[in-house]
Amino acid sequence: MKPKNLRDLVTFVPNKAEPIHNWLYFKEGFSRGLVEWAVREFQLQEPICDPFCGVGTTLLAAKQMGMQSIGFDVSPLAVLASEVKTRNYDPRAIETTLKAFHKMQPREVGKFQNKKIRRLFHAKQLDDIYFFYKKVQEIEDAKTRNLFLLALIDTTGRVANVVKVGGSLRKQKKPCFPVKKLFLGKVKKMMLDLQNTQLPNVESQVFEADARITKLGKDSVGSVITSPPYLNKIEYTKVYKMELGLFFQVQETKLRAYIADEATGKDRETEIPLIAKAYFDDMHRVLQNVFHYLKPGGKAVIVVGGGCFPYETVESDDILLREAEKVGFKKIDKIVARHVQCMRNRTIKVGTVRESILLLEKPEER
């Protein structure tokens, strides 16, 4: 049964009120409720795989339901967030480390060298961020260290003189917020979330990998819940270049939301833009890999969005369904979650595209 609030469930917005899920905001993601609905409605089996795991919504929701899961992503930031959200912790280790950090008085221990990034902060803030970054690296326990690192990354985004708008960063002057207070307050909030949330003793497998080339063991996955990057020209290195540059030393990478390489013009056979054709070629490779590691009878739930171009729209759901059928999948359903306006220059309406949920099944072997 299609839930009444499905248009909200395909967004990350409901997660803002969800403990642990809201540890790092990720506007490209979907909600915990979508995962829970899909598991119940389509009787999905474990382990659940998300080859575009983002900040771990599928993996954490699976953990909360006591189900095993596997996730991977090309972004080291996404992998870190997914790992931190799905690990089992020793609360005493977090509390002891937090007390030690409260006693620290930030002092200059060096500077981030990237001049472009340095211009995004008040000087004192960036000095404090660098101080705590160095101290976080000294934490011996890996799980605790990564939790503190994610808290610092979240704090960095809150104090920086920028906001994420569309596919880029927009400068916005902010007061010089106290880094130490916000950082340790975030850790405290994360610790309380863990104490107040009963989680099964299950940990997800998470690793950094490209869904186009990564093959898990044949017939090793019970089901798939994922949302591939949508067909647009948002670059993750623009939206998250601050975090990637500061904490992962990632400067220039091909982390485009449409994942295809640059191309211009139209494909003669399909009459869609060549960028779109390259995107669907990439998605064909992803679907081949998913088909390989999904068990016979296993289902794949895929959230997709249409492409918005300056003078036309491309409905991704129908094209991806055809690609899935070429690979060998059986179409079970296409559920339209919402319609989104496609605008040019933010003022001229080009058309409307669908955001849909595709339900596919790998046929049983004869």
Q: What percent of the chain has pLDDT over 70?
A: 92
Work out the average pLDDT over 264-290: 84
The pLDDT score that the predictor gives to residue 155 is: 97
Tokens of 109: 């221990």
Compute, in degrees rounded to 10, the torsion defined by CA atoms 211, 359, 45, 39. Answer: 110
The pLDDT score that the predictor gives to residue 136 is: 98
- Within 10 angstroms of residue 199's Cβ, the number of other Cβ atoms is 16
The tens digit of pLDDT for each residue in 106-153 reads 987 777 777 777 888 888 899 999 999 999 999 999 999 999 999 999
The pLDDT score that the predictor gives to residue 346 is: 76
Res. 237 pLDDT band, cuts 50 70 90: low
353/275: higher pLDDT: 353
Compute, in degrees rounded to 10, the torsion defined by CA atoms 288, 40, 226, 321. Answer: 50
Tokens of 279: 């995107």
Residue 66 DSSP one-character state: T
The pLDDT score that the predictor gives to residue 261 is: 57
Identify the weakest region by mean pLDDT among 11-15, 89-93, 244-248, 333-337.
244-248
C-alpha 72/C-alpha 213 separation (Å) is 12
Q: Are 267 and 241 in contact (CB under 8 A)?
A: no
Res. 263 pLDDT band, cuts 50 70 90: low
Per-domain boundaries in the chain: 6-76+202-234+259-361, 91-196
Among candidate residues 80, 67, 83, the one with its CA nearest the CA of residue 199: 67
Work out the average pLDDT over 263-282: 78
Phi-psi region of 337 (alpha: psi -120 to 50; beta: other; left: phi over 0): alpha
Work out the average pLDDT over 254-269: 59
Q: 307 to each of 48, 50, 219, 263, how far by Cα in Å?
A: 27, 22, 32, 15
The tens digit of pLDDT for each residue in 31-86 reads 999 999 999 999 999 999 999 999 999 999 999 999 999 999 999 999 999 999 99
What secondary structure, in 3-state letters, does 177-201 show?
CCHHHHHHHHHHHHHHHHHHCCCCC
The tens digit of pLDDT for each residue in 74-93 reads 999 999 999 999 999 999 99
The tens digit of pLDDT for each residue in 300-359 reads 999 999 998 888 899 999 999 999 999 999 999 999 999 999 888 778 888 999 999 999
Res. 255 pLDDT band, cuts 50 70 90: very low
Crossing angle for the helix pair 91-102 and 142-159, to the nearest 10 degrees: 50
Looking at every residue in the chain, the average pLDDT score rounds to 90
The pLDDT score that the predictor gives to residue 262 is: 57
The pLDDT score that the predictor gives to residue 171 is: 83
Among candidate residues 22, 33, 66, the one with its CA nearest the CA of residue 48: 66
C-alpha 325/C-alpha 355 separation (Å) is 20
Sign (positive or negative) of CA dihedral 202, 208, 212, 215? negative
Helix (H, G, I), strand (E, B) or coil at 169: strand
C-alpha 336/C-alpha 266 separation (Å) is 27
163/56: higher pLDDT: 56
CATH 3.40.50.150 fits 6-76+202-234+259-361, yes or no: yes
Identify the weakest region by mean pLDDT among 31-40, 195-204, 242-251.
242-251
Among candidate residues 56, 9, 39, 17, the one with its CA nearest the CA of residue 203: 56
Res. 294 pLDDT band, cuts 50 70 90: very high
